[in-house]
């Protein structure tokens, strides 16, 4: 046995013996019947010592405190389900996710920037509890009346109720300390923010359920190291993969917990690679098992989520315009589904033109003009993501001549045309004025009246990859429109115009003539009674094509979520200090008000505990580096800080820091996954701090300080919850500045808006 093996073996003996002594102490008055074995043998019936704080098998000294766990679960359920049906009207983002649940019940296709699992589960919960999908979810404050909405709220509350028990089990597994686990669970039980997020039809409780499930399964899998490839080993590995697919299937921020599990797995494999008793063949088995359980299985389940999504949402709806023409051809009720139309474009046709950039929109115009100071004061031309009569354009010859008697003449590669807007009769036009947002591009407008205009209305048609004389095929040809006077090319920039542009997509004329999806268009609809029709069924895309397109649309939609005019954009540095919450319902004293804000006592304690943890970890590393001898519980606490606490700190960092580099609009509720890790870290930090007070005080005093500290913490959580619970369960009457208000004196920060 070399030096490293001796060190590991001695640490295993110390850890096992310490746990045994703790169990004997907890069972005072009864005989301690079992002793930790120090034997080592190759015999099958000999007990293998525990390794570095990881449990070998369920036994008397590592049992889960069932009664405490049941208490945590009961308190969690009670705080989440209390007044679950109040208020009986739409609150905050229930407008979106309740409506999307209705779309699933009605099988109506829609677009959202998040993957579909959360909305699918909300719709399923509503369907199973009697909701028929007919409530419109138009705006916050709309009364639910006779509609059965409680099932969707109850489903979210049920998943939110699992978070404190999950935190209890995770911290118990990492620290083997019931007080630490109870502190962590209490932080979540009595946090008004977690309660509020769990009580409404939102994605957040579903996302946090899968995130915490992933972490719990990961730490449980880590305890199976000494029994690889057994049933429990496979069970926790595969369940980790299942939860990871759920996390990503609800929101893309599920990638952060995937990264956490990936880092943990990489360190685990690195440890196995350094185990010289393990052959390379066995290491290969470990590697392949993790690839299957943590990569292939989650990918399969994630793909299956989208397969179900596409099968269920098979009817045309408000999301059609975000997707390509071929994607739309699979939707029942869409004008392209099982449709027939002319194969080629001809002069005199009425058409819609769709940009090939994902979410680039249809070429669109309306009677509104560009405002003064934004290029020429002419009619706006934009990209619109929905089907609309104002998307129709008439294809005309450059001289405006129309032969109504002869056979139709096809538009071919290299032809020069005019595009006249059907509704306003103005021509598609460009000139040497800069575009509204993309300053290096030129402005595109509607100009003229009843087809009259000037030379700036002429556009040359180019079929991408074509040659002169090739006809333009409906749906299948990628077409570019080159402006004859300026040499620029018609483009959808993808940028969202301000309110004067109805928040539609900016259309420009780009001087950069390189072929890109932004400058490529296709003819989607075509009306010309003189042309023969063909079936469009051949255009239906494959599953992989629509899966890929869906992800491109979601990613670009997510990055395009920018703050609107006068809209508050929360900053990441606001979140840990509980700087500002969110109004869920009501504003004035006559309304039922719900305000999303974390319990300030809990949130500020979490912040202080982060600093305390860093200090304690630094001291532990310095002591280890200086060779300070650590034995017994001190050694166990040091190990818990470095491994268990380090993992939770990494989880907090991964779920918090990326928001500093995100360009999209941010909200306060984005911090709550990180808050889960911060609360669990607080449980471990405060418990180890209290347990080591004997370093500063005598044993008799430290014993009372530990018990007193635990009691004060629990009392502080409960009392602060009592003070701030109206934030979650609803406020009526005077606002906080009024002495008669239930929240009088509790507006501790000016930025709180209750």
Asked if residues 509 and 491 have their Cβ atoms less than 8 Å apart, the reply is yes
Number of folded domains that form the chain: 2
pLDDT (average), residues 280-305: 95
Other Cβ atoms closer than 10 A to 343: 19
High-pLDDT (> 90) share of the chain, %: 62
**What single DSSP character describes residue 296?**
I
Based on the fold, state whether residues 274 and 392 are members of the same structural domain: no
The verdict on 468 and 382 lying in the same domain is yes
Report, as an integer, the average pLDDT of 73-97. 93
Task: Determine the average pLDDT of the residues in 262-266.
Answer: 95
Asked whether residue 499 falls in the same domain as residue 599, the answer is no
* 723-735: pLDDT as tens digits: 999 999 988 888 8
**Higher confidence at residue 380 or residue 637?**
380
Rounded Cα distance between 7 and 360, Å, is 63
Range of the domain at 348: 340-535
Residue 296 confidence (pLDDT) above 70: yes
On whether both 150 and 297 belong to a single domain, the answer is yes
The reply to whether 495 and 618 lie within a common domain is: no
The predicted structure's pLDDT at residue 61: 40
Per-residue pLDDT band at 34 (split at 50, 70, 90) = very low
Same domain, 302 and 380: no
Residue 516, pLDDT > 50, answer: yes
Whether residue 398 is found in the same domain as residue 304: no
Question: What is the rounded average pLDDT of the residues 381-391?
Answer: 92
Residue 644 above 50 pLDDT?
Answer: yes
Cis preceding linkage at 87, omega within 30: yes
Provide, rounded to the nearest whole percent, the portion of the chain with pLDDT above 70: 90
Residue 732 lies inside a defined structural domain of this protein: no
Write down the pLDDT at residue 18: 40
Domain assignment of residue 320, yes or no: no
* pLDDT number for residue 15: 43
| Alpha-carbon gap, residue 650 to 655, rounded angstroms | 9
The reply to whether 421 and 521 lie within a common domain is yes
In tens, the pLDDT along 613-628 reads: 999 999 888 888 888 8
> For residue 545, is it within any domain?
no
Closest to 252 in 3D by CA, of 664, 678, 574, 577: 664
For residues 206 and 106, membership in a common domain is answered with: yes
Mean pLDDT for 398-427 is: 87
The answer to whether 392 and 352 are in contact (CB under 8 A) is yes
Q: Which residues pair with 461 in a beta bridge?
A: 481
> What pLDDT is recorded for position 57?
36
Backbone angles phi, psi at 428, to 5 degrees: -65, 130
pLDDT at residue 223, as a whole number: 92
pLDDT average, residue stretch 45-55? 36
My answer on whether 304 and 344 are in the same domain is no
How much is the pTM? 0.82
33-47, 453-467, 646-660: which range is least confident on average?
Answer: 33-47
Cα 352 from chain centroid (whole Å)? 34
> What pLDDT score does 22 carry?
40
pLDDT of residue 7: 41
At 20, the pLDDT band (50, 70, 90 cuts) reads very low
Q: Which of the listed residues 535, 553, 576 is the one where a domain comes to its end?
A: 535
HSE on the CB side for 433, CA within 13 Å? 16
Q: Indicate whether 251 and 364 sit together in one domain.
A: no
Residue 566 lies in a domain: no
Mean pLDDT across the chain: 87
Place of tokens 């180019």: 462
Same domain, 284 and 229: yes
Q: Looking at 535, 554, 577, which one is the last position of a domain? A: 535
610 within some domain:
yes
pLDDT value of position 591: 84
CATH assignment of the domain containing 497:
2.80.10.50
pLDDT at 626: 82
CA dist 26 to 29, 69, 498, Å? 9, 17, 67
């Amino acid at each position: 046995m070399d030096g490293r093996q001796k060190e590991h073996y001695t640490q295993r003996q110390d850890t096992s013996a310490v746990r045994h002594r703790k169990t004997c102490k907890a069972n005072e008055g009864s005989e301690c019947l079992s002793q930790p074995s120090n034997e080592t043998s190759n015999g099958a019936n000999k007990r293998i010592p525990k390794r570095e704080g990881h449990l070998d098998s369920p036994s008397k000294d590592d049992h889960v405190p069932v009664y405490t766990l049941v208490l945590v679960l009961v308190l969690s359920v009670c705080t989440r389900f209390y007044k679950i049906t109040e208020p009986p009207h739409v609150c905050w983002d229930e407008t979106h996710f309740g409506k999307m649940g209705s779309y699933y019940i009605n099988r109506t296709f829609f677009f959202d920037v998040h993957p579909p699992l959360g909305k699918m589960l909300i719709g399923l919960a509503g369907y199973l509890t009697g909701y028929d999908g007919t409530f419109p979810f138009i705006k916050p404050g709309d009364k639910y009346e006779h509609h059965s909405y409680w099932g969707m709220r109850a489903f979210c509350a049920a998943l939110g109720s699992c978070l404190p028990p999950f935190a209890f089990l995770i911290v118990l597994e990492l620290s083997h300390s019931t007080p630490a686990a109870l502190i962590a669970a209490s932080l979540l039980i009595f946090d008004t923010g977690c309660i509020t997020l769990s009580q409404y039809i939102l994605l957040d409780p579903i996302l946090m359920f899968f995130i915490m499930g992933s972490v719990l399964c990961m730490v449980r899998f880590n305890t199976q190291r000494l029994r690889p490839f057994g049933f429990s080993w496979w069970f926790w590995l595969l369940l980790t993969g299942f939860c990871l697919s759920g996390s990503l299937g609800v929101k893309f921020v599920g990638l952060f917990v995937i990264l956490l599990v990936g880092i943990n797995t990489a360190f685990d494999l690195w440890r196995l690679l350094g185990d010289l008793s393990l052959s390379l063949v066995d290491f290969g088995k470990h590697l392949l098992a993790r690839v299957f359980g943590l990569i292939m299985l989650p990918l399969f389940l994630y793909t299956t989520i989208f397969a179900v999504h596409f099968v269920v949402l098979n009817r045309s709806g408000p999301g059609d315009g975000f997707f390509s023409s071929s994607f739309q051809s699979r939707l029942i009720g869409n004008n392209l589904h099982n449709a027939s139309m002319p194969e080629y474009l001809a002069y005199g046709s009425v058409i819609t033109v769709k940009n090939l950039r994902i979410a680039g929109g249809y070429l669109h115009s309306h009677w509104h003009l560009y405002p003064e100071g934004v290029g020429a004061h002419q009619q706006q031309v934009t990209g619109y993501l929905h089907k609309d009569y104002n998307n129709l354009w008439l294809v005309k010859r450059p001289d405006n001549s129309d032969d109504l008697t002869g056979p139709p003449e096809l538009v071919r590669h290299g032809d020069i045309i005019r595009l006249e807007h059907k509704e306003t009769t103005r021509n598609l036009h460009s000139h040497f004025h800069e575009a509204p947002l993309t300053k290096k591009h030129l402005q595109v407008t509607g100009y003229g009246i009843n087809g009259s205009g000037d030379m700036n209305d002429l556009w040359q048609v180019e079929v991408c990859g074509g040659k002169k004389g090739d006809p333009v095929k409906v749906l299948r040809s990628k077409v570019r429109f080159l402006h004859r006077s300026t040499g620029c090319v018609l483009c959808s920039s993808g940028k969202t115009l301000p309110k004067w542009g109805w928040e539609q997509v900016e259309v420009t004329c780009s001087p950069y003539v390189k072929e890109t999806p932004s400058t490529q268009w296709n003819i989607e609809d075509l009306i010309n009674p003189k042309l023969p029709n063909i079936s469009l069924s051949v255009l239906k895309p494959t599953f992989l094509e629509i899966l890929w397109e869906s992800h491109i649309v979601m990613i670009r939609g997510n990055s395009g979520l920018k703050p609107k005019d006068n809209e508050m954009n929360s900053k990441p540095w606001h979140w840990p200090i509980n700087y500002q919450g969110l109004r869920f319902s009501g504003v004035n004293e006559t309304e039922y008000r719900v305000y999303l804000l974390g319990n300030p006592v809990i949130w500020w304690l979490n912040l202080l505990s982060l600093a305390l943890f860093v200090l304690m970890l630094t001291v532990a590393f310095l002591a280890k580096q200086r060779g300070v001898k650590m034995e017994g519980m001190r050694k166990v606490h040091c190990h818990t800080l470095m491994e268990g606490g380090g993992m939770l700190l990494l989880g907090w960092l991964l779920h918090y820091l990326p928001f500093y580099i995100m360009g999209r609009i941010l909200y306060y509720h984005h911090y709550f996954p990180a808050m889960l890790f911060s609360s669990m870290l607080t449980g471990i930090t405060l418990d180890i701090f209290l347990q080591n007070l004997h370093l500063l005080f005598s044993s008799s005093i430290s014993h009372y300080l530990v018990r007193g500290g635990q009691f004060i913490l629990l009392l502080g959580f409960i009392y602060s919850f009592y003070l701030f619970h109206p934030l979650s369960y609803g406020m009526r009457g005077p606002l906080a500045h009024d002495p008669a208000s239930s929240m009088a004196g509790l507006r501790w920060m000016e930025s709180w808006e209750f």
